Structure 1
């Protein structure tokens, strides 16, 4: 069993299938208290060091614990809001600089294998290194190459790796042992494959299935979406389109007030997945006899779990609010995507 650590772990969704593939995360770090508490609920055997990795006492403690626990694997998923299309796209966001702490960590611990995950825009953003602007991807490649590591990187899409959701990520596979190969693509899983068997629900309704209950929505939004077919936006409706109380049409992007499609993977699930008026959040729906469409609502927690690649019985703590669960799912590195990547992890030959 390979022992490893996770930096910027959120609640550890990416790790869900690691242990069955021979990797046990025994050390984790997360800045935010509520996320670290969620993580400890999911992984009670892993030691969570909650705090700011840029603080010397936290960083030094993580280094010592990594060494003491004889870890040889590191996964690092630094916050991406500064580089994300769904975020602020701010080149001056200090979180863009957190990759420096990953490099610093590796220089002091020299693990055999490192997995770094972030948004695709990481490949386009620069940071200041020794008073020079350097592309983050070049910084990563150069620093690890100088330390004697093999570096393989690409933009991959979770939908190609057993996940019914499009979620593109910049993936860096770094190893001292040998070249860490990219995973082979798998068959596409559609939204229909993942959630079609679940019973229909309207706004505010509940089923007897765990985590399968609907949010209560504004009656006008429900009306607009009841008249919107699968894969379409309510902005294209000739009547019953998004409008103000005076009848004036609301302006917005065609990705909002939009139903996802049954016959393809879901679009990227964002942190705003609980809002009809945000991007690609509405259930595909089924056509009814009166030519309207069922399920005029956002996806349930259960549907989000399935489209992320988590099991129906994922161990959500009772204290976690629905909004919080929706946020951490929207921030996640899908676990089956991560699993397909670590299946190729280079391993030392037994003597």
Structure 2
């Protein structure tokens, strides 16, 4: 059988597509509205035609449909923005971003691909959108629009940790097979063994953070900073020290693995006058070694964000005080691992730390997609 020919909608930078070519899926066409992300995508996937434009624009959408038909696209992967539904977002009722699914549906109905992979956050199952003059749940809308021509998977909720990804990340995924395709049932494959954070990144060199006050303050607080940095870069150019403020670093130096600094008796998040910072119990929290990484979010470069600080290891200071190493967020290299991307995935040199972290936080883990696609491809062979 020849390779599937795919279209990626809301493509981000192509994290979902990282293993597609290897397993027999050619993403020949992609669409992304953000110029930096489209540029990033095109640098990584030079053989894919990236259409940078707004899918809600009729002319842009018409162009995508016509090209997909001309190029015999038989597979569509659609991953609309989830911020309007995410637990980490505001979740405004009838958030305009939630309506974007309707444009993906329009493209699918016009292209009529054999197979469709639609992914979003679990909250999609209970999120409503406005359809003409009616308010409907997104799943009801999708099945109403596509149910006549497509078969859907029975179970739609899936955890990335169950498929070789060292990260929890629960997603809602609709797997569609066109009804005229005989003998193919697309469901999630058998679960795999969980990979803990210790297994995934425990063997990497420890890193001290770079302090915003500059190298002098950094070396004062971390005399081995340069030595550790060199050891990290010897592993990968992406395993380099994140930059943080000293006050946040000091709070995390007194915070054990799996704990939040907000519960520290002395070194807790506080304002200049000593008033405790109001924070969620998962803010300023270190990850746990003996479980998969918590879900990576857009703000994974900020210590105060949701559970994104390295687990660290206990050590004794010169004064005999128990402190904890790696008072920092995960490095870009560590994020590559917990997102299950290939370690040699060609991140463009021009991409900023902020952009890389943000697109990782919005991506679907690559190995999760690979395993689900393999479940389909095994039947087609």
TM-score bracket for this pair, using the shorter chain length = over 0.9
2:135 is aligned to 133
CA contact (8 A) 1:175 1:346 kept: no
Does 1:186 pair with 2:187? no
Question: Aligned in 2, Cα 1:65/1:241: closer, same or farther, shift over 3 Å?
Answer: same
Secondary structure of the residue aligned to 2:30 is: strand
Does 1:122 pair with 2:128? no
1:227 is aligned to 254
Structure 1 residue 215: deviation in Å? 1.6
TM-score, scaled relative to structure 1: 0.96
1:200 is aligned to 206
1:102 is aligned to 104
Quote the Cα distance in structure 2 between the aligned partners of 1:235 and 1:36: 39
Q: Say which of 261, 270, 286 aligns to 2:297.
A: 270
Quote the Cα distance in structure 1 between the aligned partners of 2:379 and 2:101: 27
Secondary structure of the residue aligned to 1:28 is: strand
Secondary structure of the residue aligned to 2:376 is: coil
For residues 98-157 of structure 1, give each alpha carbon's deviation from its aligned partner in whole angstroms, at most 9, with x where no partner exists: 1111221122111000000001111001112231111100111222112x2101151111
Secondary structure of the residue aligned to 2:146 is: helix
Structure 1 residue 36: deviation in Å? 0.3
Residue segments in structure 2 that go unaligned for 5+ positions in a row: 211-224
Does 1:323 pair with 2:354? yes
Quote the Cα distance in structure 2 between the aligned partners of 1:347 and 1:136: 30
2:174 is aligned to 172
CA contact (8 A) 2:18 2:342 kept: no
Secondary structure of the residue aligned to 1:344 is: helix
How well do the aligned residues superpose, as a CA RMSD in angstroms?
A: 1.4
| Bigger Cα displacement from structure 2, 149-158 vs 205-214 | 205-214
Structure 1 residue 218: deviation in Å? 1.2
1:55 is aligned to 57
1:143 is aligned to 145
Mapping of residues 340-351 of structure 1, within 5 Å: 340-345=371-376
For residues 192-233 of structure 1, give each alpha carbon's deviation from its aligned partner in whole angstroms, at most 9, with x where no partner exists: 111111111111142323211112211111111111100001
CA contact (8 A) 1:144 1:151 kept: no
Quote the Cα distance in structure 1 between the aligned partners of 2:371 and 2:6: 17
Question: Matched residue pairs, number?
Answer: 349
CA contact (8 A) 1:5 1:28 kept: yes
For residues 236-270 of structure 1, give each alpha carbon's deviation from its aligned partner in whole angstroms, at most 9, with x where no partner exists: 11111111222222221110111000000011111
Structure 1 residue 347: deviation in Å? 7.6
